[in-house]
Structure 1
């Protein structure tokens, strides 16, 4: 089962559209995760129409229209793995322990907010994944997203994809 993970798209505030490379990934993904900060409903509509399954939450920059359509925390079980999605997890220091305590029944937590890619495992086994942002790199060298595979009850092939730099305008 192929997964596509993204967060912090901030459209049309940070970019006009999702990057073509990311759009090209949609047909091959059996499940698409979005960890919030959409900003516009058009992107949600697009992902709902082009994704086989969308697991998504709202973020701190999302207004009433998105909050009416999305939860603060979302859950999915995929081939026996328990996933959660949330926008904010707090500061980097202590994140693993804090998230493991808040989500003791999960195997994988997808989160966003910082725009900083993150892939760690808490002492109890919770895998924490932040795909970064495909449209707003902030202080990172690249805009990013993640893909992964779920097979045989395991998460494998977690890959961080760097997007080409966009030209201004």
Structure 2
């Protein structure tokens, strides 16, 4: 659990859906029903890149406010709309998003390096398709996995962040079937 520093302001409880590596339409023609059900009633949806198609953004923005970044499989309209990193505040906590691709180091180390010298309470990243919740110092590293391309993982996944009274809790949601 991460907590906002005393004196920082927040206004309510937030539910934040987190996903990455949708790779649509190659890995799925539409977002899985299990994912859409889990994202319902989210205040924000964060996407850590490799959307692959603008339709993913269009579908997600019907649910909640969407923030995201580009990944190595993104092009066109996605690259025009989103940058490679995003750092913003929700509920008194600073959240960074990056895809995590590159040539040197691990995906985790590249995610951390993307926000070097900046305060980030939580860094969300993707690229590896491997779900991860890990603390590095005072920073929570969070990879939601993929809801459409599990690769060598046993289950599809996405993440949920909950912020209440300046406290951050992260969890994965795993599911077996990506049917629509």
TM > 0.5 = yes
**Residue pair 1:9, 1:134 contacting (<8 A) in 2 also:** yes
Specify the alignment match of 2:136 in structure 1.
122
Pair 76,13 (structure 1): closer, same or farther in 2 beyond 3 Å: same
Q: Tell me if the contact between 2:107 and 2:128 (Cα under 8 Å) persists in the aligned partners.
A: no
Q: TM-score, normalised on structure 2?
A: 0.83
Q: CA RMSD in A?
A: 2.1
Match of 1:5?
18
CA distance in 1, matches of 2:161, 2:108: 25
The 3 A distance-change label for structure 1 pair 100 and 85 is closer
Structure 2 equivalent of residue 44 of structure 1: 57
Structure 1 residues 30, 88: closer, same or farther in 2, change over 3 A? same
Which residue number corresponds to residue 38 of structure 2?
25
Bigger relative CO (Cα 8 Å, ≥ 6 apart)? 2
Q: 1:120 to 1:89 in 2, by over 3 A?
A: farther
Q: How has the CA–CA distance of structure 1 residues 97 and 33 changed in structure 2, closer, same or farther, with 3 Å as cutoff?
A: closer
Shift of 1:100: 8.2
**Is the 1:39–1:63 contact (alpha carbons within 8 Å) kept by the matching residues of 2?**
yes
Matches of 2:112 and 2:87, distance apart in 1: 18
Listed as ranges, the gaps of 5+ residues in structure 1 are none
Matches within 5 A, 1:152-163: 152-156=165-169, 158-163=170-175
Structure 2: gaps spanning 5 or more residues: 1-13
* Total equivalences in the alignment: 164
